[in-house]
Chains A and B, each alone.
Chain A
């Protein structure tokens, strides 16, 4: 393979890419916008203790104790409404106090109360809640019966239990922003190839000593380089490279390989920039679906695992937000590598058929 010729083609493609004002502008604007969006997102999670309570009769002393400890109380009319409110994330926790519980406490009997917890309640929140509720029930018990209370708090998590994994919105968004930068690049490379086909410059290249494989190598290098560089810049400015820089960079590289393969496919189906945009938009929508699972935990179907970008989102999410190690995400990386190579080969085969 003629390395000098490949380098000449890479230089040519990069020149043309940045002389295309549309893509040069979109690239710069997108990168800046993604970084700004990240920085504008809240850095902290909500730490106020809020609890919904269903209690047909609730002693004033209990309420006074809780509010005196900075706990916000919302009364609801039924246990069902309370459960739904917790599922809908209106309240992080809901306490059920039926009449018999109050009666039991007054009699000094062993008592069990139920707390419904939202799936993403942080561990610190739970600890604080347990402490305050124990104190409140003891206060209530002394008041009603004069004896200390033997209380059992039954906790029920509604939805997947992600306790202890509370993340700020910007952290949840970061994997999506990184993947967006990568997949948007599909349009850039797709257009470069489609424009070459439309302008008839590909035949001009193919009557030089450069081989078809050399041509594809140069395109692949350009695609991977553009996608990877932009995603790496984003991660650099958003702190995504703080913990496991090599692992993140490797993941982004595999992601860039994946989208470059897809760009070849898009280019082979397209005749001009408009058709590249149309095909790319369709793919981008599909590829971004797995980000829902990161932004709204527990809402993603297992079918999303069939979308190649799932492994990209999941790996970045695990590494950036939970300090996952190489070992923890190795299966994701292997799947990404296999999918990336498969898509790249498929893209090259389809494109070569079109060229011939």
Chain B
């Protein structure tokens, strides 16, 4: 990417003796969606807190839109939007009141109904947030994060605990936003989501970035492509065979099995991001 919206250089943050973020560096280009993946406690939220000016790095430097977040915090914050992992809305206020408040805090004129329309809440604008379901609150959080038309959007587990339809609508919204040039920093441990909407993904484990690339390159680098076949034996038992796609003689093996065995199903399989994460770190994501 030609213009980097986010540049993190050697960021370090520790809570007492515990190093939550340990010398991490990366760049995120304008309009890019970066999936920031890691298990609980890996340092994802601490990274976001440093990048959004909630805490100051103990070492290193982060610039957003060319401005040092530690030195020009308020200036940077005018151009970013943050949707937190846990809902933190004013529950005794309506959706419109929540959005209007934040528009006033940012000093911008935003149309709350237009924002609510983006997240399919236009009919619930005058209802108090306390009556909303979790999915509705999550969508309202994203609408709130977009109230200042941010150039960088930080989304922390935006689809966590949502039904598939709500999750899909939020993913579409992220893609639409990114297509308009907004940089999206997506923190998640949902590998499927990261794979589907991220231009690049970064794996963070124990405070360090252990891999950073596009999902397809990571799969090529670390994963193994196989053909998986289910074969029914004479006694009715199902036998599963996996044939590596990239080996010499794979085609012959497939041909032979098709001719000699009763192949019930056959499909290709590639490594998931989760498989790759486990391969790199030796641990799962949850």
Residues from chain A with a CB closer than 8 A to the CB of B195 are none
Who on chain B is nearest to A2 by CB? Answer: B107
Tell me whether B90 is interfacial, beta carbon within 8 Å.
yes
A16 and B90 contact, CB distance less than 8 A? yes
Partner of A206, one of B54, B92, B102, B106: B54
Q: Of residues 1 to 50 in A, which have CB atoms within 8 Å of B's CB atoms?
A: 2, 4-5, 8-9, 12, 15-16, 19-20
B78 within 8 A of A: yes
* B54 and A205 form a contact (CB under 8 A): no
Tell me, yes or no, whether A145 is within 8 Å of chain B by CB.
Answer: no
Are A200 and B97 in contact, CB atoms less than 8 angstroms apart?
A: no
Interface pick from A98-106, A208-216, A324-332: A208-216
Cβ–Cβ < 8 Å partners of A5 in chain B: 104-105, 107
Q: In the complex the two chains form, is B89's CB within 8 Å of A9's CB?
A: no
Which residues 102-143 of B have a CB within 8 angstroms of A?
102, 104-107
Chain A residues with Cβ under 8 A from B27's Cβ?
none
A207 to B150: give the CA distance in the assembly, Å. Answer: 12
Take A19-B92, A199-B91, A209-B78 as given contacts and tell me if A8 and B105 are in contact as well, using a CB distance cutoff of 8 Å. yes
Is A201 among interface residues, defined by CB-CB distance under 8 A?
yes
In Å, the complex CA distance between A19 and B54 comes to 29
* B198 in contact (CB, < 8 A): no
**Once the chains are docked, how many angstroms separate the CA of A9 from the CA of B105?**
8
Is A204 in the interface zone, CB < 8 Å from B?
A: yes
Q: How far is the CA of A268 from the CA of B144 in the complex (A)?
A: 27
Q: Counting CB contacts under 8 A, is A239 at the interface?
A: no
Question: For the complex, would chain B's binding face be called helix, strand, loop or mixed by DSSP majority?
Answer: loop
Contact present for A210 and B91 (CB under 8 Å): no
Q: Give Cα A203–Cα B107 distance, bound, in whole angstroms.
A: 18
Q: What secondary structure prevails in chain A residues at the interface with B?
A: helix
- Which of the residues B53, B55, B74, B88 comes within 8 Å of A200, measured between beta carbons? B88
Question: Known contacts A207-B80, A209-B106: does B90 contact A8 (CB below 8 Å)?
Answer: no
Contacts of A205 in B (CB 8 A): 105
State the CA gap A77–B55 with chains docked (Å): 79
B166 beta carbon closer than 8 Å to chain A: no
Chain A residues, CB < 8 A from B80: 207
Looking at the complex, which one of A12, A203, A208 makes contact with B88 (CB distance below 8 Å)? A203
Chain B hits for A208, CB < 8 A: 77, 102, 105-106
Contact A203 B104 (CB under 8 A): no
Query: Once the chains are docked, how many angstroms separate the CA of A2 from the CA of B87?
Result: 26
Q: A8-B105, A15-B97 are in contact. Are A207 and B92 (CB under 8 A)?
A: no
Q: A15-B93, A19-B92 are in contact. Are A207 and B101 (CB under 8 A)?
A: no
B106 touches A201 (CB 8 A): no
Instruction: Identify the B interface with A (CB < 8 A).
Output: 52-55, 74-75, 77-78, 80, 82, 84, 86-93, 97, 101-102, 104-107, 144
In the complex, 23 of the A-B residue pairs with CB atoms within 8 angstroms, ordered by the A residue number, are A2-B107, A5-B104, A5-B107, A8-B101, A9-B105, A12-B93, A16-B90, A20-B92, A199-B88, A199-B90, A200-B88, A201-B89, A203-B54, A204-B88, A204-B89, A204-B102, A205-B105, A207-B54, A207-B80, A208-B102, A209-B74, A209-B75, A210-B105
